[in-house]
Amino acid sequence: MKNFKLSVVTVLAMSAFAVAGGDIEPVVEPMVVEEVASDSGFYIGGAYSLSNQETNWQNSVDGSFVGSEKFERDSSAYMLQAGYKFNQYIAIEGRYWDSMETDTWSSNQQWGNYSNSDGDWSAWGIYAKPMYPVTEAVDVYALLGYGNVSIEDKWSNNTSLLDENGFQWGIGASFDITDNLSLFADYVVLCSDEGETFVSADGGFDSETVETSMSTVNIGLSYKF
């Protein structure tokens, strides 16, 4: 009987301890959630540009080849950009170039004074911009799009040398200086062998075929909002 009472007391004590222990909740450490900066958003920028213009000229009389000439011209310009980055792999971007030089030159060859240049040109383009993050701070990218190049040099009949729309492409790389500011450098082909044939103003059969290629190297800064 004495042992029975001791057993009952033991069971009751253990039950009370279990009930009391049920009110004690385990300590849970708070979860730390790191905020990840968004890689999307609008951006603007500007650059200093060096352009290279190559022009091939060919003259014919009554359909017969007479002579040809090739000349090259380097000039400087400024470039403005604006775009939207969807994620770390793709963006869409618009660009505008305008020449910074106003020097004048003319070319006098055995075929006559056929070219006068005042160094004035402009261009624009809209591009798809696929990107690849090499590191957290360095991206490489391509530019694939459509645009216009206008070169105001006077040619036959006082007509502008070039005013053409067409495919444009480029490659480049950017380096993040801060979360919002980045340095970039790229090479962009604005046109390749674009031009037309000019016929003499007097209605004769003399003609001049002019084809121009133009590219730029751009170094600048972009700011992402």
pLDDT, tens digit (0-9, with 9 covering 90-100), for 199-219:
655 555 567 777 889 999 999
Other CB atoms within a 10 A radius of the CB of residue 105 amount to 12
Q: Domain spans of the chain?
A: 41-224
pLDDT at 223 over 70: yes
Question: What DSSP designation does 157 have?
Answer: G
Greater pLDDT, 31 or 108 = 31
CA distance 34 to 22: 34
Instruction: Please tell me the distance from the alpha carbon of residue 15 to that of residue 55, in angstroms, as a whole number.
Output: 99
Q: Which amino acid is at 123?
A: A
CA distance 138 to 65: 52
* pLDDT value at residue 8: 47
pTM above 0.85, yes or no: no
Token pair for residue 213? 């290629």
- 11 Ramachandran zone, left/alpha/beta (phi>0; psi -120 to 50): alpha
Is 112 a residue whose pLDDT tops 50?
Answer: no
| CATH class, 41-224 region | mainly beta
